[in-house]
Amino acid sequence: MTSDMHGILPKSSLQRLLDVLSVRGYRIVGPMVRDGSVVWDTVRSVSDLPIGWRDQQEPGRYRLEQTDSQEVFGVVHGAQSLKQFVFAPREPLLQIERRKEGFTARPTLPQSEKVAIIGARACDLAGLTIQDRIFLNDAYRDPYYASRREGLFVIAVNCTRALSTCFCVSMETGPRARSGFDLALTEVDNQLLIEAGSEAGRDLLSNLSLSTSSEQLSVEAATRIEACAQSQVRRLDHSRLPQALYEVHEHPRWDEVAGRCLACTNCTMVCPTCFCHTVEETPDLSHQQTTHVRLWDSCFTQEHGYIHGKNIRPTIKDRYRMWLTHKLASWIDQFGTSGCVGCGRCITWCPVGIDLTEELPALLSPGIQSSTAKRQADGNSRRVEG
Ligand code: SF4
Ligand code: SF4
């Protein structure tokens, strides 16, 4: 092992890493092939991982194909980000019980569990950092999120292959994992270059008795990651955001995209940073007890825009505009960062292939003038003429 905690793990020894994690009490979760995609599931052996599989993704299309290769991490990602491990899709918050005088409310914090996730991508880590900002580092610290987050050990995999839907380079989030991981792996043929990113990662690495990483292998890993960056065909130019998007609030393109959008909510469910939620009561039949539950919600539903007897976003146009403007513009004002990490999931999993990397330039294109901008321009020219 080198002093900066890089080492080489032969791929044939990957099981050793899983075994050490198991001995330390972690449930190991990794990508597993199921129903034509990959999902996060409990991994007991290396053979559970999608060895030899690759994913192809395009707008509205996801395909897995099996190859002859022995690549362990050839599949970039499925629909699921890391969001579900910290911000649970369905989280009981309180158990409320009727008493003679009023009621009692007991918080139902989740049982702490140690979970080691193997195979997280740089965009997933960026998404998790944003969720941390929202749930942990804001004025209110969410104890349910915090409880799940404390037990997480994240093993990232640096991307050496980009999907046609990836644009992490332009969002400055990938393809190399820079922070937010405990360990990071780069797969180079039969070897895994392994790097520690936290004290817990360093402690685990020192127990693996790895051989020292060679300069040659480090250079080869860096070359492959750079080739992945260079191969990305999509990008999102956010240099004029947030202001430029606020200025096109009345652009005709919103009507055009609303004509295609099904308001199915897929884009928000798969997005690593979306955090809209609702709450519901599930009372028992005697009406003596109820569970107060938090559920994932979406700004694309009718109900989500319903406030005090009025729906503030009655049309799909209102909702798509709200989503994109929040994600790419007002998120920056709110949290100091973009709400998009460039993972491309919303492009792949949109059933009609709506692509925000196409929508944004269409909205900001100087050739298509919004009615607001046109009105302002007309007013200005009248003032000049007058
Ligand atoms: S908006 Fe789309 S591309 Fe951006 S982080 Fe969310 S799912 Fe990924
Ligand atoms: S996934 Fe596509 S169709 Fe569904 S709500 Fe999002 S943009 Fe609309």
Domain boundaries, the chain: 6-87+110-230, 243-285+297-379
β-strands 306-307, 103-107: how paired?
unpaired
CB of 258 sitting under 6 A from ligand 2: no
Q: What's the token pair of residue 94?
A: 């309180």
Q: Crossing angle for the helix pair 316-325 and 253-260, nearest 10 degrees?
A: 110
Q: Going by CA atoms, what residue is nearest to atom 2 of ligand 2?
A: 350
**pLDDT at res. 386:** 26
Q: Going by CA atoms, what residue is nearest to atom 8 of ligand 2?
A: 261
Residue of higher predicted confidence among 226 and 380: 226
**pLDDT at res. 4:** 55
CB of 270 sitting under 6 A from ligand 1: yes
pLDDT at 3 over 90: no
pLDDT at 2 over 50: no
Whole-angstrom distance, CA of residue 214 vs CA of residue 263: 51
Q: Cβ neighbours of residue 218 under 8 Å, at least 6 residues apart? A: 6, 193
**Sheet with 115-120: strands ordered across:** 37-42, 27-34, 115-120, 152-157, 183-188, 191-196, 6-10, 211-212
Which of 184-188, 216-220, 232-236 is predicted least confidently? 216-220
pLDDT at 287 over 90: no
Which of 5-14, 169-178, 350-359 is predicted least confidently? 5-14
In the chain, the amino acid numbered 3 is S
Give the position, in ligand 2's atom list, of the atom nearest the Cα of 268.
6
Give the position, in ligand 1's atom list, of the atom nearest the Cα of 271.
7
Whole-angstrom distance, CA of residue 280 vs CA of residue 70: 47
CB of 327 sitting under 6 A from ligand 1: yes
CB of 304 sitting under 6 A from ligand 1: no
Q: Cβ neighbours of residue 191 under 8 Å, at least 6 residues apart? A: 8, 9, 10, 11, 217
Q: Going by CA atoms, what residue is nearest to atom 7 of ligand 2?
A: 261
* Highest-pLDDT range among 141-150, 301-310, 376-385: 141-150
- Over residues 311-321, the mean pLDDT reads 96
Please answer whether residues 15 and 28 qualify as being in contact, where contact means their C-beta atoms are separated by less than 8 angstroms: no
pLDDT at 270 over 90: yes
Q: Cβ neighbours of residue 315 under 8 Å, at least 6 residues apart? A: 258
Split at pLDDT 50, 70, 90, the class of 308 is: confident
Give the position, in ligand 1's atom list, of the atom nearest the Cα of 347.
2
CB of 346 sitting under 6 A from ligand 1: yes
CA angle, residues 364, 370, 375, in degrees to nearest 5: 135
Q: Going by CA atoms, what residue is nearest to atom 2 of ligand 1?
A: 346
Give the predicted TM-score (pTM) of the model.
0.92
Closest CA to 193 of 210, 173, 180, 178: 210
- Over residues 169-196, the mean pLDDT reads 97
pLDDT at 367 over 90: no
Please answer whether residues 39 and 80 qualify as being in contact, where contact means their C-beta atoms are separated by less than 8 angstroms: yes
